[in-house]
Amino acid sequence: MVKRSETSGRLDDAARAGWLYYVAGRTQDEIASSMGISRQSAQRLVSLAVAERLIKVRLDHPIAACLELANAVREKYGLRQVDIVPSDPGAGATTVGIAEAAAAEIERWLKKTDPIVLAVGTGRTLKAAVDQLPAIECINHRIVSLTGNIAPDGSAAYYNVIFSMADAVKARHFPMPLPVLVTSAEERETLHAQQLVRSTLDMSAQADVTFVGIGELGIDGPLCVDGFLEKGEMMELMDNGAVGEICGWIFDSEGKLLDNPINERVASAPIPSRDTSVVIGIGKGKRKMKAIKAAVTGHQINGLITDEEVAEYLLT
């Protein structure tokens, strides 16, 4: 039995219980008696292990349907890489499944031995993916955020994922000390000219791989919900043909960045080159379908992680 120091002891016990349950296949009763605790406590430890993401489950079998879809989507849109996860008919717009898949992909990159620059955008889906990451130590890599970490109300933006990532991944990380939207193009110029910002922007342009969430527009889309845009602004954007955004950059149904006042105020770094690096978009669900189709059509991204439902839509 591993040492039972007060604080870390609980997680140790949780890990032990989780291992006995999932890996060794013991029942919770057996675990309880072997650890000298009650059955209920054993159950709690097991669910704690799950809640703390100590237990990672992955499916080691390419579901043929998903593979076929992935291939078809990749060919049709000329993408470098496509991952399709099964749709979960019950759960609606949640991040279940896609987060794990994205985390696995991120992990794959981080395990490379050669130093890489990994850029991340923002969004709930990406946040969920990052939360699935195990602890990794990769001193050689650098992680850079494409988007600002300051919310409209001045607080640190919750969905700025680089901080969550720093918790799990031991690597140098470079946040972007800017708001997401500034008040004018001129202000953006000024801010971007600062030395600190400048170097972060330069680094992001050299990213080897980039993970971004794909956001849909609409009055219940993230830009409105998180208070970046007013309802009125959103309606106007949509009237002008906007269908989605990546890191705040708004694009139309062809995937072309819109030439409008909002995009001039976006303080995010430009999306790294799709010619020389891998830019993987993450998103699923009916509401994001149009945005995703636009993003792949206009080559805002050259990699995609999504679900069956969206994949089938992309093929129609």
Partner DNA sequence: ACTGTGGTTGAGTAATTGCCCATGAGCAAA
Partner DNA sequence: TTTGCTCATGGGCAATTACTCAACCACAGT
With tokens 């680094």, the residue in question is 203
Query: Residues touching a copy of itself: how many (CB under 8 A)?
Result: 64
Choose among 25, 24, 3, 22: nearest CA to 13. 3
When binding is defined by CB under 8 A, the residue of 134, 152, 227, 270 that contacts a copy of itself is 134
Name 279's bridge partners. Answer: 210
Q: Which does 44 bind (CB under 5 to 8 A by kind): a copy of itself, DNA, none?
A: DNA
3 binds a copy of itself (CB under 8 A): yes
- The amino acid sitting at 53 is R
Choose among 103, 104, 173, 175: nearest CA to 139. 173
Piece in contact with a copy of itself (CB under 8 A), picked from 81-89, 146-154, 270-278, 291-299: 81-89
Piece in contact with a copy of itself (CB under 8 A), picked from 79-87, 116-124, 180-188, 196-204: 79-87
Q: Which is nearer to a copy of itself, 113 or 183 (CB)?
A: 113
How far is residue 236's CA from residue 227's CA, in Å, rounded to a whole number?
Answer: 16
10 binds DNA (CB under 7 A): yes
How far is residue 230's CA from residue 232's CA, in Å, rounded to a whole number?
Answer: 5
How far is residue 37's CA from residue 9's CA, in Å, rounded to a whole number?
Answer: 14
Q: Which does 40 bind (CB under 5 to 8 A by kind): DNA, a copy of itself, none?
A: DNA
Q: In what order do the strands lie in the sheet with 136-150?
A: 81-85, 303-307, 278-282, 209-213, 117-120, 136-150, 169-179
How far is residue 164's CA from residue 162's CA, in Å, rounded to a whole number?
Answer: 5
Task: Kindly identify the residues of this chain, within the stretch 21-80, that bind DNA according to CB under 7 A.
Answer: 21, 27-29, 37-41, 43-44, 46-47
22 binds a copy of itself (CB under 8 A): yes
When binding is defined by CB under 8 A, the residue of 38, 86, 186, 198 that contacts a copy of itself is 86
Q: Which is nearer to a copy of itself, 101 or 180 (CB)?
A: 101
Q: Crossing angle of helices 161-168/124-131, nearest 10°?
A: 10
Choose among 119, 162, 148: nearest CA to 274. 119
How far is residue 82's CA from residue 250's CA, in Å, rounded to a whole number?
Answer: 23
**Are the C-beta atoms of residues 45 and 17 closer than 8 Å to each other?**
yes
Contact flags string 59-78 toward a copy of itself, x per CB under 8 A: xxxxxxxxxx--x-------
User: Mind giving me the DSSP string for 184-202?
Assistant: -HHHHHHHHHSHHHHHHHH
Q: Which is nearer to a copy of itself, 60 or 259 (CB)?
A: 60
Q: Which does 170 bind (CB under 5 to 8 A by kind): a copy of itself, DNA, none?
A: none
How far is residue 307's CA from residue 220's CA, in Å, rounded to a whole number?
Answer: 21
Q: Which does 29 bind (CB under 5 to 8 A by kind): DNA, a copy of itself, none?
A: DNA
Least distance CB 102 / a copy of itself (angstroms)? 8
Query: Which stretches of the chain bind a copy of itself, using CB under 8 A?
Result: 1-5, 8-9, 11-12, 14-16, 18-20, 22-26, 30, 34-36, 49, 52-68, 71, 81, 83, 85-86, 88-91, 96-97, 100-101, 104-105, 107-109, 111, 134-135, 305
Query: Which stretches of the chain bind DNA, using CB under 7 A?
Result: 10, 21, 27-29, 37-41, 43-44, 46-47
